[in-house]
Amino acid sequence: MAVTETTTESWGSRLGSSIKGVLFGFLLFIIGFPVLFCNEGRSVKTAKALDEGEGACIPVESIAKVDPEMEGQLVHMTGRADTKDVLTDDQFGVSATAIALKRTTEMFQWVEHSKTEEKKNMGGSVTKTTTYTYKQEWREDAIDSSGFKEAGHDNPGFVEFPSEERRAANVTFGAFRLNEKQIVRIGSAQAYAFPTDFVCKVSRVQRQGGTILVPNKATRDNEKNVRDVASQPRVGDMRVTFSVIMPHDISLVAKQKGDSFVGYIAKTKKKVDLLSDGIKDAAEMFEDARDANATLTWFVRIGGFILMFFGLSMILKPLSVLADVLPFLGNIVEFGVGLVAGLIALVCSLVTIAIAWIFYRPVLGILLLAIAGAICFLVWKKRKGGGAAAAPAPAAPVA
């Protein structure tokens, strides 16, 4: 099953669209500068906060009791995150004494896939051929089929039992209580183990290991309609799995406040509040936080470069559209535009990052500038000396 749609856009229309895109491209290009600059500031402030926090962090050997002397101090603790809260999924009747209970639902539904091919024509017009194909797949989000190009691929439009997660409100950590933001960061999920006497509240379901197979509502309402959902799925069928986060050991770096914790505010105004699953010492936790900071910094750097690149590509797009009157010439100009946009975006990104370094790390920035200046001076001096040494001797007079 496939539908093919062919459209042709004239050269004038393409040129008008590209000119309209120049303003948006300029906006993307400009946005790239503060994104890169602020990212360096965030990275430096976070790094300094982690250094300050590691220097101020005090290891606490036992969490069995609250030590008043540690009040207001940044502490490192390890121990069991525990809870007595019983989390229940009322629709399915699943319950567990756990830190978190998550239901993941996938629905069998139609999915539209599209593939577009472009062909440039003499005179600058472009013919686009888009092929739409349809396939039934398990997807977690409901897919709206009202906009499908071909009729006959109807989806329910909503998931009857959508995915959801419940978290315990009360999680203890020895003699302490974890706050809500800390509870949310606890991980190490595992598959839910159904008890032997489990009875699902949803009627006429089928269970295959840890998966509950739920026929669509039309099938459930018709008692004579009996089929195996696993081997004969239909649109609207659902497969539901459950996972839990059970009480387990965690490691914590935070500021002690009474019998709970808050984030430690460093001099850079950045917060230090670390939590890891398992037993980790403070040095390892701070190293992990530094790695996460470095990873985020590089992601944003690449994102800032992409903003500048796409912005410049849109600004220069009219040039390649103008040249598309002759398709081969347009391809050459398009390649050149992409190359120029990439080089300018790279230079602008590097310069912005360098200026941010000088602003946020003046000592290191000035040192780098001094080294760069010294290298340039030595190269210039060597070339000047070499040029003087290589000067040709005056020619002898001819008799």
**Token output for 182:** 């800390």
Beta strand pairing call for 94-97 and 126-139: unpaired
Residues 387 and 399: their CA atoms lie apart, in Å, by 30
pLDDT tens per residue across span 88-101: 999 999 999 999 99
Mean pLDDT per block of 10 residues along the chain (399 residues) reads: 87 89 94 94 94 95 93 96 96 96 97 94 91 96 94 93 96 96 96 93 91 92 85 94 97 96 94 96 96 96 96 93 87 90 88 83 63 62 59 49
- At residue 391, the pLDDT reads 47
pLDDT tens per residue across span 196-237: 989 999 989 999 989 999 999 988 888 888 888 888 999 999
Domain ranges of the chain: 8-50+293-384
- At residue 206, the pLDDT reads 92
- At residue 228, the pLDDT reads 87
- At residue 375, the pLDDT reads 57
